[in-house]
Amino acid sequence: MRAKKGNLLLVLVLAFCCSFAVRGEANADEGETETGLYRYNDFQYTYNSETGYICITGYLGSEKEVYVPDSIHGVPVKYILYLDAYNIATPKKKLTKVHLPDGLEYLGGLGGCVCLREIEIPDSVEVIANYAFENCRKLKTVKLPGNLKKIGAFAFDGCSSLEVTKLPNGVEEIGDCAFAGCKSIRSMKLPSTLEKLGAEAFLDCTNLKEINIPAGVTTIGESMFCGCEKLKKIKLPNHVTEIGEDAFADTAITEITIPATVKEIDGYAFLNCKRLRKVTLKGTKTKIRRNAFWGIHKKAVFYVPKSSVSKYTNRLIASKSFSGKKPKVKGRGN
């Protein structure tokens, strides 16, 4: 159910580049490339005359180890939009190490570098862009920047060797599928500053056993932890309002407490959670969509406010969200 990417990356690249005015003069070691961009040594770039910053848009060299310049003719390099964008001499599979400059603020374009094993990102970087390290399958160690604010969609998607266990305090947003398929992540500590956690953010992280959800997160998106087959325990923040479709499908959780603030549990949210035996619903008006609890343990018990036992029993039956003959619903203190 991953989002269809298609040519989205190319569209984003072109849109970003269009915001830059190409530098007017070419120096001795510069010249306009076939793409209409400018070149400095083995790097192609664009220059924004309004901000005075340079954006690297491609590496054209043949080295396996690359040093990105911190400036070009005295103009700071603040953005890396795409590295290896039009490189024929050195396919991405041969790029083994990249040195990033201090002062960089926006990092993208290393996706598909299948031989890249480690990288140190300068503290100045605030955004790791969409698809930045997508399918870097051997990438194991990443030093994340202290000033990081956003991790884009698909940023580390498919990085099956990645062993990141903690995100720096200050991160506010994690995009869709940001860590999907990161099969080597066993635990993850998310910062208290986090406010947005995208759909499928940890999809198919099959060895993830432990993770926290910060208080600022209000939506558990579609397939957020789907396929995390070793995840046994999760605590939902008190301000969560929605649990998305397939959010915890095929996990190993044994119990879950749904805060009173949750307005809706979408279809298949806990699909095939075969070890789930205890569900506590604190609210009285939570909507339960079709097959929300299909495939959980046959002896599972739903604990609800005493005044809502019959209501929840009817909701579970009407929504066909429980695969047993009849859901067992018990009242507890309101």
Q: Is the per-residue pLDDT at 76 higher than 80?
A: yes
Count: domains in the chain: 1
pLDDT of residue 19: 45
Average pLDDT over the chain reads 88
- Nearest-angstrom CA–CA distance, 41 and 160: 33
Q: Could you tell me if residue 17 is inside a domain? A: yes
Contact 304, 330 (CB under 8 A): yes
Q: Is the per-residue pLDDT at 25 higher than 60?
A: no
Neighbours of 243 (CB within 10 A): 28
CB pairs under 8 A, 24+ apart, for 17-24?
Answer: 17/46, 17/55, 17/57, 17/81, 19/48, 20/46, 20/47, 20/48, 20/55, 21/46, 21/47, 21/48, 21/49, 21/50, 22/46, 22/47, 23/47, 23/49
Q: Could you tell me if residue 53 is inside a domain? A: yes
**Which residues are registered as beta bridge partners of 46?**
55
Structural domain that includes position 24: 1-217
pLDDT of residue 324: 65
Contact 115, 97 (CB under 8 A): no
pLDDT of residue 2: 58
**Which residues are registered as beta bridge partners of 150?**
127, 173
Q: Could you tell me if residue 242 is inside a domain? A: no
The phi and psi torsions of 306 (rounded to 5 degrees) equal -55, -35
**Residue located via tokens 């599928």:** 177
pLDDT of residue 16: 46
pLDDT of residue 196: 97
Q: How far is CA 298 from CA 83, 243, 318, in A?
A: 52, 22, 18
pLDDT of residue 240: 97
Mean pLDDT, range 97-118, rounded to an integer? 92
pLDDT of residue 50: 86
- Nearest-angstrom CA–CA distance, 133 and 95: 13
Is residue 69 very low, low, confident or very high in pLDDT (cuts 50, 70, 90)?
A: very high
Q: Is the per-residue pLDDT at 37 higher than 90?
A: no
pLDDT of residue 93: 57
pLDDT of residue 1: 55
Percentage above 90 pLDDT, the chain: 73
3-state secondary structure of 17: helix
Q: Could you tell me if residue 224 is inside a domain? A: no
Q: Which of 108-112, 136-140, 222-226, 328-332 has the lowest mean pLDDT?
A: 108-112
Mean pLDDT, range 317-334, rounded to an integer? 82
- CATH for 81: 3.80.10.10
Q: Could you tell me if residue 192 is inside a domain? A: yes
Contact 46, 72 (CB under 8 A): no
Is residue 86 very low, low, confident or very high in pLDDT (cuts 50, 70, 90)?
A: very low
Mean pLDDT, range 222-245, rounded to an integer? 97
pLDDT of residue 4: 45
3-state secondary structure of 314: helix
**Which residues are registered as beta bridge partners of 213?**
none
- Residue 104's Cβ-side half-sphere holds a number of Cα atoms within 13 Å equal to 27
pLDDT of residue 236: 97
The secondary structure of 110-125, three-state, reads CCCCCCCCEEECCCCC
Is residue 94 very low, low, confident or very high in pLDDT (cuts 50, 70, 90)?
A: confident
Q: Could you tell me if residue 237 is inside a domain? A: no
Q: Is the per-residue pLDDT at 205 higher than 80?
A: yes
pLDDT digit string, tens, across residues 167-202 = 999 999 999 999 999 999 999 999 999 999 999 999
Q: Could you tell me if residue 223 is inside a domain? A: no
Q: Could you tell me if residue 314 is inside a domain? A: no
